[in-house]
């Protein structure tokens, strides 16, 4: 049934939590910020809130870059310049192409089985392109779609319409599959775009009755068992 696989990046193929952790503390070190361990969770919360606003179209990507650090400074009282912190963090994060252990095996196996692979990710282009380069994963994908470069972000249907226009797959949606870990971004967006979806539910989150993925798997290796080869 499926021939064309669209993979999300962070949380699906890339270990963003580890990359974010490393980049956050490298930023703190470079700017000599008086941070304690609890401040990392404060930043993660502020960052997540602004990304939700971004997904809803309430802030632009340029506003997001700075707003998350402005919110962090306001909430914690840490004396930082949001723009300086943003530049430092993006630079550090762009060098953190940390993959999950199974990622390369899965990508290589799927390519050998004859699937065509694409990467479809929200994010800042400079950061995502840097991490893709560091991880040496660009070779596996026929095309890489990054929200900042497109001008729309998942789950916006225009993100998916752009993918189909570029790939020429608008009339072959029945052979496409969106694979990702986010119900609100990857799965809801894929459904709105007319695709079948595979939710990678690694942490056993409850299913949202309003967002019904076509398939649910709890790890990447099980995806290999499911995708035996294109028909």
Q: Report pLDDT digits (tens) over 162-208.
A: 999 999 999 999 999 999 999 999 999 999 999 999 999 999 999 88
Using one digit for the tens of pLDDT, what is the confidence trace for 20-58?
999 999 999 999 999 999 999 999 999 999 988 987 889
Query: CATH class for domain 16-94?
Result: mainly alpha
pLDDT digits (tens, 9 = 90+) for 73-111: 999 999 999 999 999 999 999 999 999 999 999 999 999
Tell me the domain boundaries of the chain: 4-15+97-226, 16-94
4-15+97-226 and 16-94, same CATH topology: no
Please say whether the beta carbons of 39 and 78 come within 8 A.
yes
Question: Cβ(223)–Cβ(216) under 8 Å?
Answer: no
Dihedral over Cα of 119, 97, 22, 95: its sign? negative
- Amino acid 231: pLDDT: 60
Does the pLDDT of residue 12 top 90, yes or no?
A: yes
Strand, helix or coil for residue 197:
strand
63's tokens: 């506003």
Average pLDDT for residues 142-162, to the nearest whole number? 95
Q: What is the rounded average pLDDT for all residues in the chain?
A: 95
Q: What is the mean pLDDT of residues 143-160?
A: 94
As a CATH number, domain 4-15+97-226 is: 3.40.50.1000
What pLDDT sits at residue 212?
95
- The per-residue b/e assignment along 193-205, b for 16 or more CB within 10 angstroms, e otherwise, is bebbbbbbbeeee
Q: Give dist(CA 227, CA 224) in Å, integer.
A: 5
Instruction: Return d(Cα 53, Cα 198) in angstroms, integer.
Output: 24
β-pairing verdict for 143-146 and 116-121: parallel
In the prediction, which pLDDT does 148 show?
92
**pLDDT, position 217:** 97
């Amino acid at each position: 049934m499926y021939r064309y696989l669209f993979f999300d990046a962070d949380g699906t193929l890339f270990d963003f939590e580890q990359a974010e952790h490393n980049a956050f503390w490298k930023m703190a070190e470079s700017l000599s910020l008086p941070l304690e361990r609890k401040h990392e969770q404060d930043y993660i919360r502020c960052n997540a809130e602004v990304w939700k606003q971004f997904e809803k179209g309430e802030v632009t990507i340029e506003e997001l870059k700075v707003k998350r650090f402005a919110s962090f400074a306001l909430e914690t009282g840490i004396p930082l310049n949001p723009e300086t912190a943003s530049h430092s963090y993006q630079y550090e994060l762009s060098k953190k192409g940390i993959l999950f252990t199974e990622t390369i095996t899965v990508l290589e196996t799927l390519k050998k089985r004859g699937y065509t692979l694409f990467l479809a990710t929200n994010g800042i282009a400079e950061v995502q392109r840097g991490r893709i380069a560091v991880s040496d994963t660009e070779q596996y994908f026929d095309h890489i779609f990054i929200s900042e470069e497109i001008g729309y972000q998942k789950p916006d249907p225009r993100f998916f319409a752009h993918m189909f226009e570029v790939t020429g797959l608008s009339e072959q949606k029945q052979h496409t599959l969106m694979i990702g870990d986010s119900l609100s971004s990857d799965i809801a967006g894929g459904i709105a775009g007319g695709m079948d979806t595979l939710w990678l539910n690694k942490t056993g989150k409850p299913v949202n009755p309003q967002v019904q993925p076509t398939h649910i798997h709890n790890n990447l290796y099980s995806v290999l068992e499911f995708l035996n080869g294109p028909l």
